[in-house]
Amino acid sequence: MATDSWALAVDEQEAAAESLSNLHLKEEKIKPDTNGAVVKTNANAEKTDEEEKEDRAAQSLLNKLIRSNLVDNTNQVEVLQRDPNSPLYSVKSFEELRLKPQLLQGVYAMGFNRPSKIQENALPLMLAEPPQNLIAQSQSGTGKTAAFVLAMLSQVEPANKYPQCLCLSPTYELALQTGKVIEQMGKFYPELKLAYAVRGNKLERGQKISEQIVIGTPGTVLDWCSKLKFIDPKKIKVFVLDEADVMIATQGHQDQSIRIQRMLPRNCQMLLFSATFEDSVWKFAQKVVPDPNVIKLKREEETLDTIKQYYVLCSSRDEKFQALCNLYGAITIAQAMIFCHTRKTASWLAAELSKEGHQVALLSGEMMVEQRAAVIERFREGKEKVLVTTNVCARGIDVEQVSVVINFDLPVDKDGNPDNETYLHRIGRTGRFGKRGLAVNMVDSKHSMNILNRIQEHFNKKIERLDTDDLDEIEKIAN
């Protein structure tokens, strides 16, 4: 019990510190739009909205940096049309969309052969005449960004040298990622220009922007549209609000986005995208997008059915480490991910494993998002065989190819209760990929045994005990 409450306290401090380190993502030319929030220096303090948003924004950025392909999803797309009597169009090829030739060339140059599931329905709606408003929700990696970029590029008149498309992103880094997609897809459209409305990007007073697409964070975009008048909002034809769920994590951003939306002409096409769809996102979406069509694609469910789960009883951190060594000694582990509760334990464990001769990657809270992405990429390429991480860092990482997951510490929420969602996400597999996996939980106190029992109850799945001193027994679990 004592160890766990100590760990909790440390973890809280680390989580807070980690959020702070996220705030210092990029200190180079342009600083991220932190909305002027006061950064708390007291590591024990409750997270501010701003820090919470930075967590989500960092997670979203990490996902974008490490993803190079579409995420597979076997669920049906749900489409709710504004006018239920109009025919429902879906396309199976990009040709059917009658895109401008330069755009089709851009799409193919990106290696896209056919529209993704969400694009099949979203693109015909967005490119219809007159263009339709849309609220779309689907998990990260399903092709939302590519879809709205295509919609923006289709509507733009390159000969008109003023902003016609406006896209809001929660942070500078996320805006930059979307900007890259615009540049790639618009590669054969050299006259098309892009401006970033982010804090730190200073323009002369009285200046007007000639770029046709503006992408930025809500605070700066609002200033550019109203106070500074760099943009004439009345000339905007397409308004995109990306990452709505990350956006609304900050009250300020929500209000700013709504104020921007109110300045746009009535016939401006409004598009909103989100990876998740809790009530708060839906309420916000309805305020920003009048008369919407709605497209939803449910996340692929994760399951514990194809996972063999075990627990090992230990009495200390050293014993946990010994148990881990025994596992490694008895079975061949191609690649493993090991989750620790605190950064301190993670660094200690990574060092101990290295001493034993393992090639270890450590994901640590003080790393910048770009560095984390690089570590994950190396691990994916198999350059390291073990990835040691805390949960804050690894949230949202795809572990599909990893067959062994070790919970060196069980996942608990900030109140010390079992964090079932995280447990499932760490070790669960989607039915589709269905690869069998092995999960080993280290239990070192009555308290953690209690957590384990509650996890078993929650999932109604038995977690078997494993004696790691018995090599025969370990060998059996590998078969």
Residues at the site binding ligand ATP, with contacts judged by CB under 6 A: 63-64, 67-70, 110, 112, 115-116, 119, 140-146, 275
Compute the distance between CA of residue 59 and CA of residue 52 in angstroms, rounded to an integer.
Answer: 11
Distance in Å, CB of 167 to ligand ATP, minimum: 12
Q: Other C-beta atoms within 10 Å of 162: how many? A: 15
Residue (181 or 367) nearer to ligand ATP, CB: 181
Residue (94 or 328) nearer to ligand ATP, CB: 94
Residue (273 or 379) nearer to ligand ATP, CB: 273
- Residue 265, C-beta contacts closer than 8 angstroms, at least 6 positions apart: 233, 234, 236
Output the known binding site: 119, 138-145, 429, 432
CA angle 20, 22, 24 (to 5 degrees): 85
Distance in Å, CB of 347 to ligand ATP, minimum: 29
Distance in Å, CB of 438 to ligand ATP, minimum: 29
Residue (148 or 311) nearer to ligand ATP, CB: 148
Q: Other C-beta atoms within 10 Å of 101: how many? A: 8
Q: Other C-beta atoms within 10 Å of 476: how many? A: 12
Q: Position of tokens 């514990």? A: 304
Residue (64 or 358) nearer to ligand ATP, CB: 64
Continuous H helices in 67-171: 101-109, 117-126, 144-155
Q: Other C-beta atoms within 10 Å of 409: how many? A: 27
Distance in Å, CB of 143 to ligand ATP, minimum: 4
Output the known binding site for ATP: 119, 138-145, 429, 432
Q: What are the CB-based long-range contacts (under 8 Å, 24+) for 321-329? A: 321/349, 321/352, 322/468, 323/442, 323/468, 324/353, 324/406, 324/408, 324/442, 325/356, 326/468, 326/469, 326/471, 326/474, 327/406, 327/440, 327/468, 327/474, 328/356, 328/358, 329/471
Distance in Å, CB of 173 to ligand ATP, minimum: 12
Please give the helix or strand (H or E) that residue 56 lies within, else none.
Answer: helix 49-66
Distance in Å, CB of 397 to ligand ATP, minimum: 13
Distance in Å, CB of 136 to ligand ATP, minimum: 9
Residue (112 or 459) nearer to ligand ATP, CB: 112
Burial group, residue 445, by CB count within 10 angstroms (0-12, 13-18, 19+): middle
Phi, psi values for residue 137, rounded to 5°: -130, 125
Residue (223 or 377) nearer to ligand ATP, CB: 377
Compute the distance between CA of residue 462 and CA of residue 132 in angstroms, rounded to an integer.
Answer: 50
Residue type, 90: S
